[in-house]
Amino acid sequence: MTGTLTVIGLGPGDPRYWTPAATAALAAASDLVGYGPYLDRVPHRAGLTRHPSDNRVELDRARHALDLAGTGRRVAVVSGGDPGVFAMAAAVFEALEEARPGWQGVGVSVEPGITAMLAAAARLGAPLGADFCALSLSDNLKPWDVVMSRLRAVLAADLVVALYNPVSRARPWQLGAALALAAEIKSEETLVAFARAVGRPDEGVTVMTLPEAVDRAPSADMATLVLVGATTTRLVTGADGASHLYTPRRVGRQP
């Protein structure tokens, strides 16, 4: 029997965000491959074998998943968020280019999920209500000057910017440098959100001005998504007193 490999996104931590399509793919799987804490989110059941790995070996993990599928297993590679956004799907296709003989006939598919910026945006209000971008601050796989030049371009173009992978143990200063660059380009009134672990019990969401964000960069961690607002991004107080961050759809003069 020919095996299959499905790359699944579980969204933020809460199963309330798993799509029925992802749940069905998990139910059909014989083997789960992924970073240990993501696998721990999936309930145990008979006939389901787990292959946890640590977080820094994406390509090895992808090859291992293809090897398993090559023996006829139905493999689910489990990511948080959306597997196509700074997660496992690209690593699987990178591995697939090696076209190893043992993988003959294996079909690969991807199930989308709620990526961190969508979960954070919904919790905050609608900060992605106009044009926006998603940049990874990790310089593990791209030079830091590329990160900075891309950031400069999108800030100057006044897109809302979602910063993924802002901090890790090995990359402690990059978020501070990115926010300092933003402070050179944008006004002091620019709003920034740190959205940590949205959808999990330890969730925390904070909105501040850009100078405050520069000061508070050291408080962000690996579970934080950082949103830098556009010029128009603003706070509105709701009729129940709650505060919402949003970006109006309209830009500039009336067209």
Q: Contacts with its own copies in 27-46 (CB under 8 A)?
A: none
Least distance from its own copies to the Cβ atom of residue 50, Å: 23
Site for its own copies in 206-235 (CB under 8 A): none
Of 22, 20, 2, the closest CA to residue 10 belongs to 22
Nearest-angstrom CA–CA distance, 167 and 223: 9
Helices (H), the chain: 20-28, 36-39, 58-70, 88-96, 116-124, 144-156, 174-185, 210-216
Cβ proximity to its own copies, 157 vs 215, nearer residue:
157
- For the bound state, the minimum distance from the C-beta of residue 239 to its own copies, rounded and expressed in Å, comes to 4
Q: Which two tokens stand for residue 96?
A: 């697939």
Site for its own copies in 9-28 (CB under 8 A): 11, 14-21, 24
Tell me how far apart the alpha carbons of residues 49 and 57 are, in angstroms, rounded to a whole number.
20
| Helix or strand (DSSP H, E) at 76 | strand 74-79
Distance of closest approach, residue 219 Cβ to its own copies, in angstroms: 24
Contact set for its own copies, span 78-137 (CB under 8 A): 82-86, 89-94, 96-97, 99, 103-108, 110-115, 118-119, 121-123, 125-136
Measured CA distances, 243 to 115, 121, 123, 129, 208 (Å): 23, 13, 11, 16, 12
Nearest distance from C-beta of residue 41 to its own copies, angstroms: 14
> Total residues at the site for its own copies (CB under 8 A)?
88
Any contact of residue 62 with its own copies (CB under 8 A)?
no
C-beta of 112 vs 176, nearer to its own copies:
112
Spatial separation of the C-alpha atoms in residues 99 and 229, rounded to whole Å: 43
Site residues (CB under 8 A) for its own copies, limited to 143-172: 143-144, 146, 149-150, 153-154, 156-159
